[in-house]
Amino acid sequence: MKNKEKILKYLAGQMSKAEKDQFENEISRDAALEKELNSANGLLEQINKFSDVETDEAYFSSLIPEIRRRLEKDKKRRKVYRFSVAFTSIIILILAFVYFSGNQKHEVLLSDSEMEKIIDEIPQNLVSTVLSGTVDLRGAEIQIDEFDLTGEYLSEFSESDFIYLLNSFSNEELNELSEYLTETKTQVEK
Amino acid sequence: MPEEKDEILVKRFLEGDERAYNEIVIRYRKKIYWHARRMLGNHLDADDVTQEVLIQIYKKLKTFKFNSSLYTWIFKITSSKSLNKIKRNNIKKFLSLDNGHTQFLRTNVDIVKTFEDKEKLNRLNEILKDISARQKEVFLLKQFEGLSYKEISEITGKSIGTLKANYHFALQKILEKMKNEE
């Protein structure tokens, strides 16, 4: 085995105990090998010095306030997001009535006026909270500034998007929404 | 006053003492930053990863069970987020989504004060440039953090044999490059 390969194995800790003892004996007898090993160790020491640099300590001091600010913002956003998700889920389930339920897929089950009635039934505080907000759908922010009763807005969601969003709801949220929609559907049918 | 042990800090945090989290940040912020910085090669990305790691620590600390040391756990998060950042950057580059402005910021925004120090870090980036992200991860954890293969194995989830091979190849490339530059 060449010296270079032996040194790499030694430094990487790939030698057995016996190999290591043998190598260390060899070093004490072979000046060239010892020199090569020292040279490799010297280069490694040099690498460590590359990170020995002076930095702006203000950056590290600013991390705690910055993280606290982000955590606080995140908490607020999560609240809005939960509302948004709830609202979006209502939209999804309405759309599910329109497009995916019934005997034939994509059969429109509700008329525009029926849709309008369902939307009117959505609690107003929920609507006002989210209508000016955004929904994060797979990282792409969708602005909810209007609700298109013709379903054009809703048709931007693909079936897999619905599944993705629905999967992200807790059981509690799903039960709540399902109850709300069942109730609304019954009212519409009357 | 002697430093409180990590276990005590975590316990205090779980009991609702927010100051304990600040103390954890103070204890680990530089280690997190420098590992990310060496992995990613610039301040902008290292800052992103550092903040993500600190946020994750805050959110996940309640699930930390001391099956490993806090130090190992934090490095696991840092390493994983750094590798993800490298992957995302590579995808952005591939799709030409990495715009000139971001590249400008990567090159020009820094917390390193002097030109000489910037040169040292550029030299380190140059030396590490040709080794794979996985090899770099092992090399940095061993070389700069002085971690054992067992500890690196806990962080990376790789076997010790694989880690030794990664370190061997990283070392080979790095030493060759440095010798050629001499």
> When comparing pLDDT for A103 and A67, which is higher?
A67
Residues of A in contact with B117 (CB under 8 A): 53-54
Average pLDDT value over all residues in chain B: 90
Q: Would the pLDDT of B89 be above 80?
A: no
Q: Which two tokens stand for residue A167?
A: 């999967």
Q: What is the pLDDT of residue A102?
A: 42
What is the distance between the alpha carbons of residues A29 and A23, in angstroms, rounded to a whole number? 10
The answer to whether residue B25 neighbours chain A at the CB level (below 8 Å) is yes
Average the pLDDT over B87-109 and give the result: 69
Architecture of domain B1-111: Orthogonal Bundle (1.10)
pLDDT digits (tens, 9 = 90+) for B26-53: 999 999 999 999 999 999 999 999 999 9
Give the start-to-end residue ranges of the domains of chain B.
1-111, 112-182
Parallel/antiparallel/unpaired status of strands A140-143 and A134-137: antiparallel
pLDDT given at position A3: 87
For the B112-182 domain, the top CATH level (class) is mainly alpha
- Average pLDDT value for chain A: 66
- From the list B55, B120, B171, the residue facing A67 with the nearest CB is B55
> What SS3 class is residue A121?
helix
Residue B75 pLDDT > 80: yes
- Helix A57-95 / helix A159-167 crossing angle, nearest 10 deg: 120
Report whether A62 contacts A55 (CB < 8 A). no
Subunit contact B168:A54, Cβ cutoff 8 A: no
* Residues B92/B60, Cβ–Cβ less than 8 Å: no
Residue A135's pLDDT is what? 40
What does the alpha-carbon distance between residue A92 and residue A95 come to, in Å, rounded to a whole number? 5
Which residues 6+ apart lie within 8 Å of B66 measured at CB? B7, B10
Contact list, B174 vs chain A (CB under 8 Å): 43, 47
Q: Quick check: B143 and A74 CB within 8 A?
A: no
